[in-house]
Each structure stands twice: as structure tokens, then as C-alpha cells.
Amino acid sequence: MIKTAAGARPSDLLPASILGLLGSRGLMTRAELATALRVSPATITQVSKDLMARGMVLELGQIASAGGRPARPLALVSSAGRIIGVKVTATHLAVIAAALDGEILKTWTLPFEPGRPEALDTAARTLVRVLGEVDGQVLGVGVAIPGVVDSLESGVADSPTIGLHNAQVGAVLRQRLGVPVLVENDVNALAVAEQVYGVGREYSTYLVVTIGRGIGCGIVIDGQVYRGATGGAGEIGHIPMVADGPPCPYGHSGCLESLIGMPGLLSKAAALGQNNTVESRDLDSDIATIRRLANLARSNKSFAEGLFGWAGQLLGGALAGAVNLLNPEVVVILGEGSEQWDLWEPGFEVEFRAKLLASRRSIPYLVEGWDEDKWALGAAALVLSSSFDRDGSTGYQGEMVRERLGIASSIGGKR
């Protein structure tokens, strides 16, 4: 359950939270909203009346509710806003425009060369063009970056894997685009997408683990993404697994990611005699290579065990450690590598269960299908989730999103 609005600034946040919930979940009755937001039904009635008067929410015909009493559900007026999501990669920007219910309306793939000094400037210019192609008011832009981001509000990013160092992503884009910009680590953005559109509807404490080029983990505790003291929490890929192993981009050796991230898998395959396995800088060709290896593994049991079984076992051990440490209710596994999960699963299942504390041995995990738009939808969800901002982590940018929803200043009679 998403918890919000009961914190420090309920008069600001409650209308935004109602809009955010209706946007992400569709129709809801006032009673359902009151339960989800942990406020009284009378408060919901009062605030929703104001939102209806502003033309942002409408009341639909009666439906039978659980208690048998008919109720009139509320819905968002669909023109209330558009959200933009940008996933940054080593070679391009994957961009989507979405409606508030998460429906993807349009996608763009824009060239991006993060190593060049003018990279951010070029990105800003192409994104200005994208914004011009979007119908309806843009509430904000969410940006998901593989690496450490200091805060959603300031958006300074460090990403050695794609060659971005101390990049002022938030400041540059905000100034050039003229809309709120929220920047986050890409795996944390996926965790936010799960919060708004996925498992967050049923669970409040969970891990979102990605397998693919890198190995990442978003941590959601009591309905909030846990970012750590400086924004770098969840680096499960840099848990040391073996005393001396392959190097990682941060200068360690033997990290989980250096072993079973995509480049690690390719070197392991080479060590198993697949000498034509060459790692490239190009994710698409690496994915093609992994698919070829997976086909081979499906007809060669010992190769399957030696490569994917071994990788699944390492992942299972590391993840069991994370579950023992954080005690989540569920684990979600996704990312481009989840396509081969049938091959990872046997090794994973045995090691994961074996290394869990007895009291959590039955924890479920869900493996989700994958496409690149999911990263970008995660970025877009950052904008919507700023409506639920309980601890102020989205700062002034989050306030601006709420301003654009037309609700920050006058409802509730404060500020």
C-alpha cells in the first residue's frame, strides 16, 4: 500500500496523491481512496469535490461496492497531463510519452554519446524537440541513469559504465526544457514503476533486481524507495563474491556483476570453450550473442549448467544474503537477461532457498517479461510518484509537478 499524505504537509500532498492514485490505478471509490491514503472518507469527499470543480476529476455512474452499498467511482480527466520518461544508455536515449495511467502514447530512440563534452547539450536540444511533439500539458520529465544519482531534485549523475562523470543532468535539462525534471538511478526508477503500476499495489517492502548488462537492485521499504545516505543504495552487483575474479568498472575484482553481468557471462562462455564469444560495447550485439549461447545451452545440458546454472547459483547466493539482511515480502526479477530465466532458474532456486534463513525460505519471487520501454516507463513514473512524496525527496521539482497539476497552492487553504 502506498502511504502518503499523513506526513508533514497533508494539505499540499493529498490532492496530488488522489490524482496520482487515480492516474495509476484507474477508477477508485472514495472509500478505496480513503483506505489507500489512510485518511478519513470525509476528507476525501471534501478534497475530491474541489478537484471535480477544477475539472480534473469526474464522478462516474453507480457501481455495486464490496459492502453491497452502491458507490460512484472517481476517475481522472484524461487530459490532466502527460509524463515523459527518458532512459539513458551508452548509445542512445529511449524516450516515451505516457498518460497518467501508464499507457505509452509515443516512443522515440535518440542518438546519445555520453563520452562527448557536448553530450548533455545535444540531449537537451533533441528533448526540446520531443516535448514539442507531445499533445497535452507535460507535467514533467523523469530521467533514469545507470549509476549513482545524488538526489532526484539536483540530479548530478556518476556513471563510469557509460562514461558520465559528475554530470549536471538535472540542472542542464531543467534549464533547457522549462519543465520539472526528476533524475534517478535506473533501477530505483524501475522500483518506482513497480510502486505505481506493479507489485507496490500489494506489497510495501520488496526488492527489484535487474539482470543484464549490469546487476542492480532497487530497495523499497514501507512503500518508499530506500536510496541510502548519498543515493547509492542497492548496488548488489558490487557485493564481493570471490577472492580474485574479473575486474569491475569501479576498480574491484570478483564482484557479482563482474562475474554474471553480460560481459562476465561472455568471458565465462569463452572459458567453457565458446571461443567465438566476443564482448562488444554494443548492447544489441551482446544480447544477440547471449541468445545464441542460450540456444546452444538448451540442447547441451553440461554447457547450460556450466554457464547459466553457475550464474543462477551466484545470483541466488547474493540475493539470499540481501533477503536475509532486509527481510522483504517479495523479490521481482527483470531486465534484458530475464529472457533466459528458464536457464538461470535451476541453479538460482537451489542456492537461493539453501542460503535463506529458515523463517524466510518460502519468500516468493516474480520474474517479469522485459522490453526497453519498461526502463523509460520507470523514469516517467518518477514524475507521477512525486505526488506521493512523503519525505520531501523530490524537493522543488516535485512541488513544481504538483503546481502543474494545479493543486499545490489553494486546496486546503495553505501556502
351 touches 309 (CB < 8 A): no
Min dist CB 337 to Zn ion, Å, is: 18
Nearer of residues 3 and 238 to Zn ion, judged by Cβ = 238
Residues 150-209 that bind Zn ion (CB under 5 A): none
Quick check: 314 binds Zn ion (CB under 5 A)? no
Neighbours of 275 (CB within 10 A): 9
Quick check: 148 binds Zn ion (CB under 5 A)? no
Min dist CB 246 to Zn ion, Å, is: 10
Nearer of residues 83 and 239 to Zn ion, judged by Cβ = 239
Min dist CB 345 to Zn ion, Å, is: 25
111 CB-contact burial (10 Å; exposed 0-12 / middle 13-18 / buried 19+)? exposed
Min dist CB 239 to Zn ion, Å, is: 8
Of 238, 292, 298, 360, the one binding Zn ion by CB under 5 A: 238
Q: With CB under 5 A as the contact rule, which of the stretches 70-78, 126-134, 235-243, 380-388 interacts with Zn ion?
A: 235-243
Residues 239-278 as x/- pattern, contact with Zn ion by CB under 5 A: ---------x-x-x--x-----------------------
Min dist CB 250 to Zn ion, Å, is: 4
Min dist CB 267 to Zn ion, Å, is: 15
Extract the C-alpha cell encoding 290: 547471449
Interatomic CA distance for residues 378 and 301, integer angstroms: 36
390 touches 4 (CB < 8 A): yes
Q: Which residue do the cell numbers 570453450 mark?
A: 273
64 CB-contact burial (10 Å; exposed 0-12 / middle 13-18 / buried 19+)? exposed
User: Which backbone phi and psi does 281 adopt, to 5 degrees?
Assistant: -85, -5
Interatomic CA distance for residues 21 and 75, integer angstroms: 10
Q: What's at 70, amino acid-wise? A: P
Nearer of residues 85 and 249 to Zn ion, judged by Cβ = 249
Q: With CB under 5 A as the contact rule, which of the stretches 115-123, 232-240, 302-310, 370-378 interacts with Zn ion?
A: 232-240
Q: With CB under 5 A as the contact rule, which of the stretches 94-102, 191-199, 231-239, 393-401 interacts with Zn ion?
A: 231-239
- Report CA-CA distances (Å) from 116 to 88, 121, 127, 150, 402: 14, 10, 17, 22, 35
Quick check: 353 binds Zn ion (CB under 5 A)? no
Binding-site ranges for Zn ion (CB under 5 A): 238, 248, 250, 252, 255
